[in-house]
Amino acid sequence: MPEGPSLVLLREEAQRFVGKTVRAAEGHAAFDAARMTGRRVRDVRTWGKHFLLGFAGFSLRVHLLLFGSWLIDARKPRPPRLALRFARGELNFYGCSLRYIEGELDQAYDWSADVLSDAWSPRAARRKLLAAPERPVCDVLLDQDIFAGVGNIIRNEVLFRIRVHPESRVAALPPDRLSALIREARRYSFEFLDWKRAGVLKRNWQVHARQSCPNCGRKLRTTYPGRTRRRTFFCPRCQPRYA
DNA sequence: ATTCATGTTGTGAT
DNA sequence: TATCACAACATGAA
């Protein structure tokens, strides 16, 4: 579930708790959930795949990892990893990683890296990419320091849309493909968000978990390339490899 | 029942 | 030191 756009939806749903006071916070013993009890939520933000609940002086960071989920005003049969109760309503997290971030979030995060942020900077992304010329594009797209919020689905879809083979190296990309990579990482992330919100995301996948190329009809290839070894779908005909 | 997957971090080997 | 392979975590869908 949790690529960047899904976190935006969580942020929107959690917005109603801003200004409210945590009446009870329960979690597993290893995490000091009680620290939030009696404290007022200042703001709700996201950075890439991080969900951030701001309190005076510190923030809660929730990372949903691969299987994480949340429920608002509802519970699963299993106890939540973290339950935040307010006078009206509750926010429950499952299967996630919890941490506190001390101080201001603007110190802790490079907001220009978040593809879904107003502060997103294509120029900063380009600079980071040019500093990593030998890396394959399949790896850099998942690099959260460059493209925070991009996950495996977005990566596969972006590479198909810009017609670039996943194992192309950054330095070998023609200038217009490098620009397209940066532009499409953000553009498709918002498209993902719209489709997710409308409940039509899967049906709009062009290559992810698909069998054949929507452009030429050939059978798609599935590989596990690069450092990350994540499942990669691509069309060997429509996505030329720039070595 | 078993396998797999929208993710990240830490450990130990090379 | 750098890079890697792998484990660990957790959960719902196919």
Answer for A210: CB within 7 Å of strand B.
no
Q: What are A60's two structure tokens?
A: 């809660």
Decide: A8 and A197 in contact? Cβ < 8 Å.
Answer: no
From start to end of chain A, where are the E strands? Answer: 24-27, 43-47, 50-55, 58-63, 69-72, 82-85, 90-94, 97-102, 221-223, 232-234
Q: What are A171's two structure tokens?
A: 């330095």
- For domain A4-108, the CATH architecture is Alpha-Beta Barrel (3.20)
Q: For residue A69, give Cα distances in angstroms to A51, A74, A75, A80, A216.
A: 12, 12, 11, 10, 37
Decide: A155 and A184 in contact? Cβ < 8 Å.
Answer: no
Give, as one character, the DSSP assignment of residue A229: T
Q: Which of A81, A56, A64, A78 is nearest to A10 (CA)?
A: A64
Q: Residue A214 CA to nucleotide C12 C1', Å?
A: 28
Sole residue written with tokens 């993902």: A192
Q: How confident is the model at residue A243 (pLDDT cuts 50, 70, 90)?
A: confident
Q: Residue A229 CA to nucleotide C5 C1', Å?
A: 11
∠ Cα A8 A125 A179 (to 5°): 100
Q: Residue A37 CA to nucleotide B5 C1', Å?
A: 35
Sole residue written with tokens 């916070």: A25
- What is the per-residue pLDDT across A157-203, written as a single tens digit (0 to 9) for each? 999 999 999 999 999 999 999 999 999 999 999 999 999 999 999 99
Nucleotides of B under 7 A from a protein CB: 4-9
Sole residue written with tokens 């907001």: A111
Answer for A209: CB within 7 Å of strand C.
no
What is the reported pLDDT for A1? 62
**DSSP-assigned beta bridge partners for residue A69:** A94
AA letter at A151: G
Answer for A209: CB within 7 Å of strand B.
yes
- What is the per-residue pLDDT across A199-240, written as a single tens digit (0 to 9) for each? 999 999 999 999 999 999 999 999 999 999 999 999 999 999
CA A112 vs. chain centroid, Å, equals 14
- What is the per-residue pLDDT across A60-86, written as a single tens digit (0 to 9) for each? 999 999 999 999 999 999 999 999 999
Residue nearest to nucleotide C4 (CA to C1'): A227
- What is the per-residue pLDDT across A111-132, written as a single tens digit (0 to 9) for each? 999 999 999 999 999 999 999 9
Answer for A63: CB within 7 Å of strand B.
yes
What is the reported pLDDT for A12? 97
Answer for A236: CB within 7 Å of strand C.
no
Residue nearest to nucleotide B5 (CA to C1'): A66
The domain A111-234 is classified under which CATH number: 2.40.110.10, 1.20.1440.230, 3.40.50.300, 1.10.8.50? Answer: 1.10.8.50
Mind giving me the DSSP string for A134-183?
TSBHHHHTT-TTTSBT--HHHHHHHHHHTT--TT-BGGGS-HHHHHHHHH
Cα(first)–Cα(last) distance of chain A, in Å? Answer: 33
- What is the per-residue pLDDT across A130-151, written as a single tens digit (0 to 9) for each? 999 999 999 999 999 999 999 9
AA letter at A156: N
Q: Residue A142 CA to nucleotide C5 C1', Å?
A: 19
**DSSP-assigned beta bridge partners for residue A101:** A59
Decide: A143 and A182 in contact? Cβ < 8 Å.
Answer: no
Query: How far is Cα A32 from Cα A99, in angstroms, rounded to an integer?
Result: 9
| Residues of A 80-99 whose CB lies less than 7 Å from any atom of strand C | 81, 94-95
pTM above 0.95, yes or no: yes
> Which nt is closest to the CA of A65, judged by C1'?
B7
Q: Which of A8, A1, A47 is nearest to A194 (CA)?
A: A8
Q: Where are the domains of chain A?
A: 4-108, 111-234
